[in-house]
Each structure stands twice: as C-alpha cells, then as structure tokens.
Structure 1
Amino acid sequence: MSVTAPQAPRPLERGTPPPRSPRERRIALGLDRDAWFLLLPALIPILVLSVGPLLYGLSLAFTDAQSGRTEVARFAGLDNFADLRLDSLFWDSFKIGLVWAVSVTALQFVLALGLAVLLNQNLRFRWLARTLALVPWAMPEVVIGIMWRLVYHQDAGILNATLRDLHLLSGDIDWLSSVSLALPAVIVVGVWAGMPQTTVVLLAGLQNVPHELHEAAALDGAGLWRRFRTVTWPTLKPVVLSITALNFIWNFNSFGLVYVLTNGGPGGKTRLPMLFAYEEAFRYGQFGYAAAMGVVMVAVIAVLLTIFLRNRLKEADQ
C-alpha cells in the first residue's frame, strides 16, 4: 500500500494577493455594504434626475409623440431614425456642432494652458490675476450672451468702435448677422466663457509637478521648453486627457450661450444640434423625432470619445 505525500501549496504568483480568511471576507462584505449605504444619498438623485430622463428619452425616440395630441403616443419602431437619416438640415447642424466643439475645445486648451503656466509663476499680484481669470466662470450663460451681444453690436458695439479707432475698419460690421462671421464670433465667446474652468484644472495639475524634477532637469542643462516637454507634460497628460474629453462633451451640448447670441442664425449657420432638437420639440411639437436626434447625438459622441480616449491611453502607456 503506497502512501501519497501531501502536496505543498503552490507558491503565489507575483502580484497575486494572498487568500483571505472567512473573517476577513465578512469584514470586507460589511465594509462594502456600508459604502453602498453612504453612496445612496448621492446615487438616488443621479438615478432620478439623470438616468430616469435618459431612459424616458430613449423610449420616446421609438414613438410618434407630438404635442397637442389627445391620444397616447404609439410605438413607431425605427421610423424616426429612418426620417432622421434623410434629414439634411439635421446633419448640417451636426457638422456645425462638431466644428464648434472641436474649435472651442482646442482653443480653450491652448489659451488655458498658457494662462495656467503664467499663473503658476511667482509673479506679483498673482492672486489678483487668478481672481480675475475666474470672473467669466462665475457669470451665467445668459449674462455672457447679453454682454457679448452688446460687444458685437453693429452701431454701439465696443468692438467696431475699437477697430475704427485703430483705423482697421472703415464701416460697421454686424458680426452676429454675417453668414461668414457669425460662427467664428460665437466660437470666440465660447472660448472666453469656458477657458477659466480649463485654466483652474490645468493649474492644479501644474502645481502637482514636483519642483525637484525641474531643478534636476535645470542642473542637467535643460531649457524651459525641454523641461516642459520632458517633466511637466508627462505629469500633466492625464489631466489634459480628462479635461479635453469633458470640454468636448460640454461644448457639443451647448445650448444657452448660442441661443442668446444668435438663436441659431443667420440662416442656420450657428444652429447647433441641441438648438435643432429644441426647435423640433418645443416649436414644432415633434417630441419623438427630437428624442431620436438626442439618441443619435449621444451615440455618435460616445463613439468619437471612445476612439479618442483609446488612442490617448495607448499613447500614455507607451
């Protein structure tokens, strides 16, 4: 009769946590349960105010819901999406939205990065400059829109008056009513309004860069640009990735600022997709069709952001 020797436990692979005892598992389960109870006060409003309307809008996109009808909305299947595929006005609006979102996001980042680098220096009255940089962020979009309408005003606007005083303009320009100038003028306002938030985020990222690394690079003879490229940028890249993606989403979903400035005019040259969907829903009463627009916008932006984030994350891992 042969006796089999007991097998020795296999060594754990590197990085593999040791198995937990039953008592440790019970403690972990209790902590997880407590964490869920602590998160519920924040999760419930999100579910009610965000997820609920999102699911309702998704279901509405498959119906023929209209305003002014007494009968209940009927299931329409993919009819709204089939009509939307052939709607050239919507896709023109979608292209305008992409131009707006990409332009505003890129300009916000470039200008905010320069301002953040400047505010990160040990300058006199730095506290005053940081305070003034946050002023646009504290202003409501409606106030910003009204203020910039006055700036762009053809007869009494300060922009035309300044250009005339500098002898750069002979006549008055109606900036917000020009087919070729309305969108660039609105993009300038979008950059001005959103730049402070990006500046604050980038400034926080710059302050997290260890000074010792800059000092070591300076001792090695690295100049300002080389120190920024080899020391600051690698540390700042995750922050840049996050704020760029968020800014793109916020800018593409812009509504109030452009609505106050131009209401989508002239001739639809500044009609962003959100404005187009708003008009279909609340001006023409096509709630189901407008909901289908929202579903398409969410889907396309999700795909674009997934591609963008995946490529950026690959670059960060290299």
Structure 2
Amino acid sequence: MSTTRAVPLPLERVRRVSGLERARRREAIALVMPSLLPILVLSVAPLVMGVALAFTDARLVRNPEYAFVGIDNFVRLAGNGFFWESFRIGLIWAVSVTLLQLVAAMGLALLLNSDLRMQGLTRVLALIPWAMPPVVVAIMWQMIYSPNAGPLNAVLGAVGLPDDINWLGNFSLALPAVIIVGVWVGMPQTTVTLLAGLQQVPSELYEAAAVDGAGSWRRFQTVTIPSLRPIIVSITSLNFIWNFNSFSLVYVLTEGGPGGRTMLPMLFTYLEAFKNRNIGYAAAMGVVLVLVVVALLALFLRSQFRAEKEG
C-alpha cells in the first residue's frame, strides 16, 4: 500500500501567491469604492444622522442648539393620535395602490404580450405615465378632477350623472381619487417587469396545458402565475415600499386634505419637520416608519418563501 505526501510549496511561490491575492483584494476594493462612496455619503450617513437626531430636541433654526432627550420623542409620538391616523391612511394607500397596480399591470402585460398590431407603439404609450414627473402628473389630474371645468365631471354630466363632484375636496372621495392616480402612475414599471417575465415563460408549457384540455383561465393559474411568482413577490415588495414612502404626488394633489383624509405618514413627517420645524420629533417619526415597513416586509417575504417551499 503506497502513501502520497503533500509536497510543500516553495517559499517564493507562497509569497507570490499571497502577493497576488493581496493585489486582487486591492483591485476589488478600488473597483467597488466609486459606487460605495456615494451610498455611504448619501444614504448611510443621513440615516445615521437621522437616527441620532431622533433622540434630541433639535429644531430647524438658524443657530441650532439641541440636547439629548433620550426616548422622549418616541414617548410623545406614542400618544400622537394624528400620526397613527396618518399611518393607518398610509397603509390603506400603500396596500390598495400596490394590489391594484399588480392587477392592472398583469392585464396590460398579458395584452402587450399578445400579437397586437403596432405592438412597439403600444408599449411606448404604456410607459408614458412612468416617464412624466410626479408634479406634472399631479397637476394634470387636478385638472381632470376639477369640479368646475374638469373633463371627468363633463363626461358624467353628458350621461346624466351629477357633474359637480369635488373629487379632491370630498371627505369620502379624496382618498379613492388619489389612489387611482397612484395606480396610474406606478402601473407602467410593474407592467414592464411582468412583461419581461412573460416573455421568458416557455411556450411549450402553454402548449402542454392546452393539450391537457386547460382553458385560458386554467393556463393562467397553472402556468403563468407559478412562472411569475418570484417576479410578483419582488415587484410587489418594492412597490409597497415606494408607495408607502410616497410624498410629492399626494402633496401636490391635496396637501393631505381635506381634513387629513389623505395625510400620508411621510407627508405628516415632512410638515412636522419643515413647517413646525421639529426636526428631532420628525426624525423619531422617520425611525418608526422605517422599522414598521421593514417588519411588514419581513413578514410578507417570510410567508411567500414558506409558501414556495411548501408548494
């Protein structure tokens, strides 16, 4: 029985290999730093500063002087009913817009994935809402919702329905009206993502399902949805974050009115920081919002991954 021994590498070769490894590490760090520095400066540093300010009584004044107050801001926030009401409205807004975006985008993606005439032009037109600045979109929809000269009321009047509805000033209609605008604005990006996923689904799966006698709805349930599930989970999670953190669209449309019916938590935090000038208190609101959103997303993703494993 013969045994083999590991031949030790010469000392010069070991040094050469270790030198190459160090050079590769330095090269990797040099390649990463240009992209890492902006993240550290523009994202991580403000986040750390915001968390630090949440424990102070900082105010937005010319010569700021603030002191450490511990968890006083969070205790005060726990009893702020207006903030938690805005949080409830924000959840209604984010969940409604996210789900409606998914449903509408799925239908549009299926339509664009079919053999349409002028398909390229149709896809470009579908991206127009995404390409428009949020402020321009909000002003355009203000004109559409105008109670006096808006085209929406004009159409309603032409078919014999009430034509003097104040869509953005009505306590019951303001939030649904804003949700419709949010769906219209965010639908294109979801459509593009789902359309890319649909084009990756093998046509053989649909053909096999059709041979087995599956109709259109059955093929959608058994082929399309399982194939797009990872994409649906990721785009839904991102949309929820984006929608919950919405600010400019709702601010231009209603400024949180009427009577706070569209006061989203980010808008509430903005007004507290830059109108009331309570930077420390607003920072505490931001910390709470980040923690709650992260917790909700963690629960959602955990349930999705568990469902995938069981499936």
TM-score, with structure 1 as normaliser: 0.90
Identity across aligned pairs (percent)? Answer: 59
Aligned match of 1:175: 167
Aligned match of 2:188: 196
Deviations 1:200-254 (A, max 9, x none): 0010111111112222222222222222222221110000000000000000000
Count of residues in correspondence between the two structures: 302
Alpha-carbon shift at residue 124 of structure 1 (Å)? 1.0
Matched, 1:73 2:66: yes
Task: Give 3-state SS (helix, strand or coil) of 2:227's partner.
Answer: helix
One-letter amino acid of the counterpart of residue 31, structure 2:
L
Range that drifts further, 72-81 or 209-218:
209-218
Unaligned runs of 5+ in 1: 9-21
Residues 28, 231 of structure 1: CA spacing in aligned structure 2 closer, same or farther, 3 A cutoff?
Answer: farther
Task: Give 3-state SS (helix, strand or coil) of 1:101's partner.
Answer: helix
One-letter amino acid of the counterpart of residue 77, structure 1:
G
Query: Matched residues in 2 for 1:71 and 1:132: separation?
Result: 49
CA-based RMSD of the aligned residues comes to: 2.2
Aligned match of 2:263: 271
Unaligned runs of 5+ in 2: 5-13
Alpha-carbon shift at residue 35 of structure 1 (Å)? 3.4
One-letter amino acid of the counterpart of residue 147, structure 1:
M
Aligned match of 2:243: 251
Aligned match of 2:37: 44
Aligned match of 1:90: 83
| Superposition map of 1:93-172 within 5 A | 93-169=86-162, 171-172=163-164
Query: Matched residues in 1 for 2:227 and 2:216: separation?
Result: 16
Query: Matched residues in 2 for 1:292 and 1:262: separation?
Result: 25
Task: Give 3-state SS (helix, strand or coil) of 2:168's partner.
Answer: helix
Residues 129, 220 of structure 1: CA spacing in aligned structure 2 closer, same or farther, 3 A cutoff?
Answer: same
- Aligned match for 2:278, one of 282, 286, 294: 286
Range that drifts further, 220-229 or 265-274:
220-229
One-letter amino acid of the counterpart of residue 185, structure 1:
A
Residues 29, 195 of structure 1: CA spacing in aligned structure 2 closer, same or farther, 3 A cutoff?
Answer: farther
TM-score, with structure 2 as normaliser: 0.92
Alpha-carbon shift at residue 25 of structure 1 (Å)? 8.7
Residues 67, 208 of structure 1: CA spacing in aligned structure 2 closer, same or farther, 3 A cutoff?
Answer: same
Is the Cα–Cα contact under 8 Å of residues 58 and 64 in structure 2 kept in the other structure? no
Alpha-carbon shift at residue 129 of structure 1 (Å)? 1.2
Query: Matched residues in 1 for 2:87 and 2:284: separation?
Result: 14
